[in-house]
Chains A and B, each alone.
Chain A
Amino acid sequence: MKHKTFFWFILPTFLAMLIFIFLPIISVVLQSVHTPHENVLITVENCDPFGCKKVTSIDHEATKNLNQSKPLGKFVGLDIYFDRGHLAIENLKLIWENSENIFSFVQSLGDLPFYKAVFFTLTFTFTVTPIMLLLGLLIALGVNSISKKLRGIVIFVSLLPMIVTPLIGSIILFWMIDSRGIIGNLIQWLFDDPNLSLKASTTLTWIMLIVYGVWHAIPFSFIVFYAGLQTVPKDQLESAKIDGANKFEEVIYIIIPHLMPLITFVTLMQLMDNFRVFEPIVGFSAEAHATSLSWIIFNDLGGETRQLSAAATSSILTIIGVIILLSPVLLRTWKDFKFKK
């Protein structure tokens, strides 16, 4: 295709991404190194019959001028990155000096809001992903061996946990897990403890969120693997059977190697999706026990005091995290492209 034709075809989508993705990123970077101006204070001496008093007040005129001449605010460099709400370098040093071993260091690190969110985000990402891969594969294998008539309805039902809005899915489960809900009731009965509440403990909250994450993600791996299973070469399976391989060996030596590209694909997509975990924390009202990077940004942006600089800094740190997570894929795509040429 000629450059000129290409240009006109790509222009609308290019402009959309330039204006609403690229420029906002620049703006976020700029905001993350600025803070709002402090009010300009002015001290005037007021004299009345009872004597003179110095009064400090806000100079509205000067503040307004300052805000107009430098709308971004005061340049502070990387200060916000290093403050207590983010990387907390100072606190980090203190904790490092005061902790006896690496465990107590990590434990005190979890008290700092940013690290707390990083811990949860990473734990969530790296537990949900392997579990959903395994269960998705098992379900795909199972569905592949049941009667063809039943498969349609099973696939229909399987799609639901994934298609449903994440916020709604988590709210639905949250209501059931509530101590007055059916699962909450069941758990209390199983452990014979009428006061047991999943919401009260940090560990249980984390487990609850991870269980939700797996429930929500299984359909994706199931569907992709199920489609992959339809393409497993029949002759290989048959020759394996003749050689006396049992079902388990078939899966390990033939099916899994055949599905490997799909497994990589699902893993990468899931790492990306789970890294942005956010809605379940809102749906489960779990913010007291678990926060994620996205949640921190949302929390800073919302409310009466929109803390844009803080949110912008968390955003940049999150984007850096995503890029690190994604670097293997980027390298692979680059190699593919060079190979294709």
Chain B
Amino acid sequence: MKKTTSNRFSLLIYSFIIIWFFLASFPFFWTFWGSFKVELDFFSISNWYNSVTGKNTLDTYNSQFTGAGYEGAWVQEEFWRSFVNSGIVCFFVVLTSLTIGTLGAYALSRSNYKYTFWLLITALIFRAMPPITLVAGYLPPFFEWNIWGILPTTIIVLVSINQPFTLWMLHSFFQNIPKELDESAKVDGCSQFQAFRHVIIPVMWPGVITTGLFSFLLAYNDFAVTAMLLSDENRTMIPKIAAFLGTTYTEGNVMFAVAAVVSATVPLFILVMFFQKKIVSGLTQGAVKG
């Protein structure tokens, strides 16, 4: 008797997890599959099964799969430019964020004066503010000084916007490292900076990498700020895709947008595949410290 109820219970759990598994993965799988079809199959009016078999794709290209959408997006619409721009932006944002973030967070974690608290609380408020609320403040001076629309400006803005988050995350990592470690280094004659550079940072690598992943995601996924601060030819992938939506619907090139969307998702997939553990630890880090 006891056995059957627990069996039924675990059946319930497994079906629940399977449903979630399906909900979380199917949209990606479906769009990936559909991106190799023609529009009439991807958006099927007559029969949804067409998108599985690729009936119209077969008629047009003599094959069930076609890379036409990708060719259109990457070559014709020059999506590769946005890909390169995204790469440049993410690289420099992560590098700069981590450099100035580790310095700041280290200082915050090793100081007990009242201003430490106020700095952290200010960072928390900054962090809670939607970045788009700042854009009205950027535009007039950026236009005035003629630095609007270029990548370096956007990189610096993204670094600054992400600083509050980076500081909080690194701060909680640094607090896990015992202060005795830098004390003993200083006893051995290191300056504070040398202690930081040669003793703390080597221990901190896992935390730094995790924070770097999240900085990367913030920069990669940003739409509001990059859409407002970059000129058309300097667009990164996400605003470029948003622009695709406007133009391709009218020109009947929806498959370009589908291919672009899949292309922009692939790096994120790879990231999750390699850094799953780090991402999970990063998400729980703030929670455990409260």
| Contact of B27 with A176 in the complex, beta carbons under 8 Å | yes
A6 to B258, CA, bound (A): 50
Residues in B71-129 with C-beta less than 8 Å from chain A: 99-101, 103-104, 106-108, 110-113, 117, 119-129
Say whether B268 faces chain A, with CB atoms less than 8 Å apart. Answer: yes
Q: In this assembly, does B48 line the interface, its C-beta being within 8 Å of a C-beta of chain A?
A: yes
Given contacts A173-B27, A294-B130, contact A12 B217 (CB under 8 A): no
Residues of B within 8 A of A9 (CB): 103-104, 106-107, 192-193, 196
Chain B residues within an 8 Å CB radius of A159: 272, 276, 279-280
- Among residues of A, the one whose C-beta sits closest to the C-beta of B22 is A157
| Interface size of B in residues (CB-CB distance below 8 Å) | 97
* B66 contacts the other chain (CB 8 A): no
Task: Report whether over half of chain A's contact residues are helix, strand or loop; otherwise say mixed.
Answer: helix
User: A138 with B16: in contact, given A223-B283, A330-B121 (CB under 8 Å)?
Assistant: yes
List the B side residues contacting A228 at CB < 8 Å: 284, 287
The stretch from B53-61, B153-161, B203-211 touching chain A is: B153-161
Q: Is B245 an interface residue (CB 8 A)?
A: yes
Is residue A161 within 8 Å, beta carbon to beta carbon, of the partner chain? yes
What is the bound-complex CA distance between A20 and B164, given in angstroms? Answer: 12
State A322–B25 Cα separation when bound (angstroms): 33
Which of A20, A26, A312, A315 contacts B157, CB < 8 Å? A20
Q: A322 to B111, Cβ gap below 8 A?
A: no
Residues of A within 8 A of B9 (CB): 247
Within 8 A of B (CB), among A180-208: 180-182, 185-186
- Main secondary structure, interface of B, reads helix
B254 to chain A, nearest CB (A): 8
In the complex, number of A-B residue pairs with CB atoms less than 8 Å apart: 275
CB proximity of A5 to chain B, nearest CB, Å: 5
A28 vs B10: C-alpha distance in the bound complex, in angstroms?
A: 56
The answer to whether B160 and A19 touch across the interface, beta carbons within 8 angstroms, is yes
Does B181 touch A at the CB level, under 8 Å? no
Asked if B147 is at the interface of the complex by the 8 Å CB criterion, the answer is no
Q: Are A1 and B137 in contact (CB under 8 A)?
A: no
- Is the CB–CB distance between B126 and A21 below 8 Å? yes
Chain B 214-270 interface residues, beta-carbon cutoff 8 Å to A: 217, 220-221, 223-224, 227-228, 238, 241-242, 245, 257-258, 261, 264-265, 268-269
A126 at interface by CB-CB < 8 Å: no
Is B14 a contact of A168 with CB atoms below 8 Å?
A: no
Residues of A at the B interface (CB closer than 8 Å) are 1-3, 5-6, 9-10, 12-14, 16-17, 19-21, 23-28, 31, 138-139, 141-143, 145-146, 152, 154-161, 163-169, 171-173, 175-176, 178, 180-182, 185-186, 215, 218-220, 223-224, 227-228, 247, 261-262, 265-266, 269, 272, 275-276, 278-279, 282, 285, 293-294, 297-298, 301-302, 306, 308, 311-312, 315-316, 318-319, 322-323, 325-326, 329-330, 333-334, 337, 341
A-B CB contact pairs (8 Å), 17 listed = A13-B163, A20-B161, A26-B137, A28-B134, A145-B10, A146-B13, A163-B217, A167-B223, A173-B27, A182-B48, A185-B48, A215-B23, A282-B242, A306-B139, A312-B136, A325-B128, A330-B124
